[in-house]
């Protein structure tokens, strides 16, 4: 009889990553001032927080949260529908609705719960969701919990979206679901075309503006405002753990829809409400966003400089047009090794690998409160580590890279993919047949980096599976191999981890090689 825990016992991916020194998750932060943190006793630049406007450590926000806790307690100990609605929660609902220009709004205890709650209660059996394939995991959960049908269109592919809309039952309710600003790649939903299709096929539009609120548009109201289409967004969702420097979520739209959700949405009805401190922090942050637009301008100044200089070094940051700054790598082992090198050099960044993204990348975000000195230091770290790992060339590309950014006042640019560059290809063509080290090195028609990579894989396999005579051959390899020692370590580690993974799965693939 199968044990339900057996799959947990047999799952070793995290253990293997830790053995390889490539485990990037659940790092314990010992201290923080917003722009720098202390990990394992070492102070590093925080370069992947969603604290876009730097308000999480603002003294006014912290004092508002503390005062609310003193007055209202640490928790409401109840859901919004019962005893969990204080004056703070009610005020936050109304203030957000007014700022967003919506008829009504209601707050949830988390952003994740907001998306799940809205889709699971709004989409019934005869309704259909049309969702971008790259939407956030919380929207995926909401889609799976909904009773209706779901059709997924290729990321920002408007022809694919129209094909699905055209083939749908004309009598069914239709909801197009997109992220306004995509949190990993940093591009925007193509709202102008989506709005055109929404009108043509009588659909409604849901925009997850978790990352767009506070960042995009003249007033920071999000993706719709950026494109001049704010009123065309039927339902706008936002979270408080980004620009609002708190925890929670909100959905804003027609008052009849919000009333429905207040009585039908299970994550709202059956979850405890936001803590009073969290509600007060969000209120104070909203006030600062309204009164200090210079924060948003500073964020865009920093982001535009980083995009321009990193692309000038040879890094690929496409398709981003926002403060989300992806360093696209395209190879899992190199991505994790590059992240490790950044960490050791004093930068807190986040590696992201498939299937979360189409191409492996290191995600970075700098906030409005980073200093010029911290940005200078970060650029130096990027360049030094990128060169050492072979992500960028030592010689800067001669071609000037124009940077298109979706900052306030520029109502276009939903993607900069056409501007991206890749300094060095990390893909290797496989060697046909069974070749020895010498034969591989003598293939003069292939780039040296490819030949070295194949040598590493061959020698890794032999060192782990054969006798000492094979290991001795390492000493006989040309000097050029040892000049590539940094890349060699990366290749060795990647091949070793892949080998262990094959053995964990039964070793059948390994036995055939």
- Among residues 211, 182, 178, 213, the alpha carbon closest in space to that of 194 is found at 178
Three-state DSSP string of 224-285: HHHCCCHHHCCEEEEECCCCCCCCCEEEEECHHHHHHHHHHCHHHHCCECCCHHHHHHHHHH
Clarify whether 404 is annotated catalytic: no
Helical residues (DSSP H) of 168-204, grouped into ranges: 191-200
Q: Which residue has the tokens 């709650």?
A: 117
- Distance from C-alpha of 110 to C-alpha of 484, rounded to nearest angstrom: 48
- Distance from C-alpha of 41 to C-alpha of 47, rounded to nearest angstrom: 18
Clarify whether 242 is annotated catalytic: yes
Burial (Cβ within 10 Å: 0-12, 13-18, ≥19) of residue 26: exposed
Strands of 104-108's sheet in order across: 104-108, 249-253, 235-239, 204-208, 173-179, 127-132, 149-153
Among the options 109, 120, 121, 183, which is catalytic?
Answer: 183
The conformational region for residue 220 under phi > 0 = left, psi -120 to 50 = alpha, else beta, is left
Which runs of E-coded beta strand occur in 122-212? Answer: 127-132, 149-153, 173-179, 204-208
CA–chain centroid gap for 139, Å, is: 14
Cβ atoms of 276 and 246 within 8 Å: the answer is: no
Helix (H) or strand (E) holding 327: strand 324-328
User: How many angstroms separate the most distant Cα atoms in the chain?
Assistant: 77
- Distance from C-alpha of 140 to C-alpha of 252, rounded to nearest angstrom: 20
Clarify whether 155 is annotated catalytic: no
Strands of 347-348's sheet in order across: 31-32, 36-39, 42-46, 347-348
For CA atoms 479, 485, 488, 489, the dihedral sign is positive
Among the options 242, 307, 370, 491, which is catalytic?
Answer: 242
Tokens of 430: 């496989």
DSSP 422: -
Among the options 211, 230, 284, 370, which is catalytic?
Answer: 211
Cβ atoms of 198 and 207 within 8 Å: the answer is: no
- Among residues 349, 358, 331, 324, the alpha carbon closest in space to that of 184 is found at 324
Q: Which residues on neighbouring strands pair with residue 106, listed in sequence order? A: 251
**DSSP string of 405-417, one letter each residue:** ---TT----S--G
Please report, for the chain, how many H helices and E strands are present, in that order.
21, 14
| Active-site residue set | 183, 211, 242
């Amino acid at each position: 009889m199968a044990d339900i825990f057996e799959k947990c016992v047999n799952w070793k991916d995290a253990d293997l990553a830790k053995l390889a020194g490539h485990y990037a998750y659940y790092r314990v932060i010992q201290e923080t001032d917003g722009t720098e943190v202390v990990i394992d006793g070492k102070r590093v630049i925080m370069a992947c927080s969603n604290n876009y406007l730097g308000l999480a450590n603002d003294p006014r926000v912290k004092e508002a949260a503390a005062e609310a806790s003193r007055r209202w307690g640490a928790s409401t100990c109840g859901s919004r529908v019962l005893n969990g609605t204080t004056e703070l929660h009610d005020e936050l609902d109304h203030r957000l609705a007014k700022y967003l220009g919506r008829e009504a709004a209601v707050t949830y205890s988390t952003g994740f719960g907001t998306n799940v709650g809205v889709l699971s209660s709004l989409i019934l059996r005869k309704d259909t969701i049309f969702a971008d394939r790259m939407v956030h995991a919380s929207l995926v959960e909401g889609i799976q919990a909904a009773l209706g049908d779901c059709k997924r269109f290729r990321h920002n592919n408007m022809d694919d979206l129209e094909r699905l809309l055209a083939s749908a039952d004309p009598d069914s309710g239709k909801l197009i679901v997109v992220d306004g600003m995509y949190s990993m790649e940093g591009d925007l939903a193509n709202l102008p075309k989506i709005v055109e299709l929404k009108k043509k096929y009588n659909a409604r539009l849901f925009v997850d503006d978790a990352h767009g609120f506070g960042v995009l548009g003249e007033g920071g109201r999000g993706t719709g405002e950026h494109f001049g289409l704010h009123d065309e967004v039927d339902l706008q969702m936002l979270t408080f753990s980004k620009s609002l420097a708190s925890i929670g979520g909100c959905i804003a739209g027609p008052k009849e829809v919000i009333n429905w959700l207040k009585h039908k949405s299970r994550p709202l009805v059956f979850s405890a409400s936001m803590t009073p401190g969290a509600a007060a922090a969000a209120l104070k942050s909203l006030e600062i966003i309204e009164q200090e637009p210079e924060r948003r301008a500073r964020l865009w100044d920093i982001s535009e400089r980083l995009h321009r200089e990193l692309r000038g070094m040879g890094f690929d940051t496409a398709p981003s047009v926002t403060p989300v700054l992806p360093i696209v790598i395209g190879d899992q082992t190199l991505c994790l090794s590059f992240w490790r090198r950044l960490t050791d050099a004093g930068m807190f960044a986040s590696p992201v690998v498939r299937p979360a993204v189409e191409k492996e990348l290191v995600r970075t975000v700098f906030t409005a409160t980073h200093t010029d000195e911290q940005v200078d230091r970060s650029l130096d770290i990027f360049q030094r580590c990128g060169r050492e790992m072979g992500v960028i060339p030592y010689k800067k590309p001669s071609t000037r890279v124009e940077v298109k950014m979706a900052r306030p006042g520029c109502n276009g640019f939903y993607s900069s993919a056409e501007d991206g560059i890749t300094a060095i290809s990390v893909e290797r063509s496989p060697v046909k047949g069974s070749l020895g080290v010498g034969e591989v090195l003598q293939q003069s028609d292939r780039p040296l980096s490819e030949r070295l990579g194949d040598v590493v894989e061959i020698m890794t396999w032999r060192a782990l599976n054969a006798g000492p005579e094979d290991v001795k051959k390492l000493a006989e390899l040309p000097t050029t191999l040892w000049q590539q020692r940094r890349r060699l370590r990366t290749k060795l580690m990647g091949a070793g981890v892949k080998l262990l993974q094959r053995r964990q799965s039964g070793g059948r693939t390994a036995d055939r090689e």
